Structure 1
Amino acid sequence: MIYPILTLVFFLAMLAYFRIADHYNIIDHPNERSSHTEVTIRGGGVIFVFAALIILVLYPEFWLAITGIVIIGAISFLDDRLTLSSRLRLLFHLLAVTCMFCYLNIFQFEPLYIIPLLYIIVIGVVNMYNFMDGINGITGTYSLVVLGGLLYVNQNHILFIKNEMIWIPMLACLVFLFYNFRRKAKCFAGDVGSITIAFWIILLILRLIFVSGNWEYIMFLVVYGIDSVLTIIHRIILKQNIFKAHRLHFYQLMVNEYGMSHLWVAFGYALLQATIICLIIFNNLLTSPVLFCLVIVPLSIVYIILKLLLIKNNRNNLKILQKI
């Protein structure tokens, strides 16, 4: 009974936020790097922070994990509004990740050099997730698929956390998608949405990995990972500043240069990740190294080939992109 009630609460919260955003002019103006052309409400992803606060009320035992989620969500919302300095954002990201690590008991790990490495990995993945949030529906559908896979594992393979820690962000994703998975989106996630849900998902995946001892679950994010890493390599080859906004992600090329539907591209990313998640969950034959190779190597090769074909058939636009 609680889930239908929470769904209704999320809808009411979104409607309230739309009124607030409209009053305070919290909107996204398209620019030369955008994949949209119309002014749209920004920060609809604040629903994930709201979902975290609901969990804090219902299940206070997760206070440490939720504190991290709220910290990173709050600083991301402020950044959406004020464009904060990178140093200030990094400070709060470090604080949020520290809360996550305390919840996961990571500071008990040995050798100690693993801990700084984990800080870099977590903050890097959070920002990767944020960079992938560039078209309607992609953050919501991809997150829903990953959360669905985690829920299945939690219910059928190994109980690593309360189901509500997965169900509630899934409901928030569904409500957000109601307004975002449209040809003309009612709202965008903003940094507050993509960064907050990324942080939440990473927390769940790390929790699952530490409880199960199985690092294969890191591949629940492999589609985003390959697009992000290979795009960074591509930009380094082009001698671009990898910290500046761009339009060279594979999904951006498909949408911006070839006019493909935002929704179909977003659905394709989610479907591909769902397929890989099923392979991981139902694999009873392959060892972890073999499974890693069978997933990552072919996916990387296909990505490179398709991207080269896109670029070859659209060289004029690529020259423009290289200057952005």
Structure 2
Amino acid sequence: MNLVVPALVAGAVTLVLSVLLPIVVKPLLQRLGIMDVPNERSSHARPVLRGLGLAVLISMLVGGAVAVLWFALAAEPVVRWEALLVVVVGSLAAGLLGLGEDLRGISVKARSILLLLIALLVPVGLLLVRADPLHVRDLTFELPPPAPLSLPEALPVGASILLVAYAVLFISSYINVANFMDGLNGISGFHGVIAGLTFAAAGWLDAQPWLIAAGLVLAAGFGGFLPWNLTKPGAFLGDVGSYLLGGATAITSFAAWLSGLPLLATIGPMVIYFGDVGVTLVKRVRAGHRWDEPHKEHAYQRIQQLGYSHVAASGITALCTLAASILGLISLYTGPWGTAALLAGGLAIVVFYTLLPRLLPARHARVAR
């Protein structure tokens, strides 16, 4: 059995649904009156329909289920369909939390508790289903073996507890980060496509079919949303979409690391987002501002304020994310010194990105969408 086929089919199903489902979902959102009204954080000037991430959520759920069922029914011992199942369920839970916020609003305390619960249960589930890292060489054609940088097969209890604690912080933080960064047309769609394709490439290079499927479903889900986001009258993901993006990306990243991929290969798509949010929060705290107040001080927002269109500013962020992702993938084939050099290169990209609002020339002001 060619183990790439289920991943490709799952990606194709997700893409078709993500493109078509908004036809049904948009009228529902309009009847519910779910609109994004401009505020201090917004980069748009008029109310825009939000919540279209629900269509992405449904499409990714169906596509992910197709891959899980196909891998499970194939009964191939080398396919870790259980890990893919945890990724799909965890991503669904994150998206549903965001949907609750879109529809009715959730108190900060309740949202935080639910977010931490998701971030706790996911790594526990992944550790329970964890098996040997996969190295299947019959996917499409033979590939050179990557650098052997993986966690040991059997983890002590103490190490497992530390991993879960790290995952709780990592996953919950990135869901919030993705929500903070969802402020321009195209930015989240581009991010989902790049992150998904990076994970799929890593899965292909390391011969892990489940990761190919997880990556293609993520890329297809947010790729199908882009035409609806970028064409008039436009529509936003809403919290359902941004929570889904952050959850799916972080959960897939952690699962890939547990499966034996080098850390840099799993976090490459995430460093620009983490860098933008981290630097911005530090600057605000040092200036005496409340970190949780609405604002427009992220690097991507400041680039747009220079007069660049939403697509241009989002594209700049996406290009930096792509560059960091490529460096991460190269770490599959490097030793310690090469990995250190790639880490330095990734940090340099983050620094360059955060300085872009100062380096880029200003353009004539344009009216925000």
Normalised by the length of structure 1, the TM-score is: 0.86
Q: CA deviation at 1:6?
A: 4.4
Q: CA deviation at 1:88?
A: 0.9
1:207 to 215, 233, 255: 255
Q: Partner of 2:338 in structure 1?
A: 287
Are residues 160 and 201 of structure 1, via their aligned partners in 2, closer, same or farther at CA, if it must alter by over 3 Å? Answer: farther
Q: CA deviation at 1:234?
A: 0.6
Q: Partner of 2:298 in structure 1?
A: 249
2:31 to 5, 14, 23: 23
Task: Let me know the Cα RMSD of the aligned residues.
Answer: 2.6
- Greater than 6 Å deviation, 4+ residue runs: none
1:146 aligns to 2:168 (yes or no): no
Q: CA deviation at 1:57?
A: 4.1
Q: CA deviation at 1:44?
A: 1.0
Q: CA deviation at 1:72?
A: 1.9
Q: CA deviation at 1:46?
A: 1.4
Conserved in 2, the CA contact under 8 Å of 1:160 and 1:211?
A: no
Q: Partner of 1:193 in structure 2?
A: 241
Q: CA deviation at 1:270?
A: 1.1
Superposed CA deviations along residues 234-255 of structure 1, whole A, max 9, x for unmatched, are 1111111112221110111121
1:221 aligns to 2:243 (yes or no): no
Superposed CA deviations along residues 278-311 of structure 1, whole A, max 9, x for unmatched, are 2232354553233212321x2344345444568x
Conserved in 2, the CA contact under 8 Å of 1:64 and 1:102?
A: no
Superposed CA deviations along residues 85-118 of structure 1, whole A, max 9, x for unmatched, are 1111112212322332133107965333443233
Helix, strand or coil for the counterpart of 1:260?
A: coil
Bigger mean CA deviation after superposition, 71-80 or 135-144: 71-80
Bigger mean CA deviation after superposition, 152-161 or 171-180: 152-161
Q: Partner of 1:85 in structure 2?
A: 107
Helix, strand or coil for the counterpart of 1:282?
A: helix
Unpaired runs of 5+ residues, structure 1, are 314-324
1:126 aligns to 2:134 (yes or no): no
Superposed CA deviations along residues 225-280 of structure 1, whole A, max 9, x for unmatched, are 1111111111111111112221110111121x322110011111111211222223
In the alignment, the residues of structure 1 paired with residue 330 and residue 165 of structure 2 have an alpha-carbon distance, to the nearest angstrom, of 33
Are residues 76 and 304 of structure 1, via their aligned partners in 2, closer, same or farther at CA, if it must alter by over 3 Å? Answer: closer
1:168 aligns to 2:217 (yes or no): yes
Residues paired across the two proteins, number: 309
Helix, strand or coil for the counterpart of 1:246?
A: coil
Conserved in 1, the CA contact under 8 Å of 2:36 and 2:49?
A: yes
In the alignment, the residues of structure 2 paired with residue 147 and residue 5 of structure 1 have an alpha-carbon distance, to the nearest angstrom, of 15
Normalised by the length of structure 2, the TM-score is: 0.76
1:104 to 117, 123, 126: 126
Are residues 139 and 305 of structure 1, via their aligned partners in 2, closer, same or farther at CA, if it must alter by over 3 Å? Answer: closer
Bigger mean CA deviation after superposition, 208-217 or 100-109: 100-109
Conserved in 1, the CA contact under 8 Å of 2:280 and 2:298?
A: yes
Bigger mean CA deviation after superposition, 102-111 or 91-100: 102-111
Are residues 162 and 303 of structure 1, via their aligned partners in 2, closer, same or farther at CA, if it must alter by over 3 Å? Answer: closer
Identity rate, percent: 21
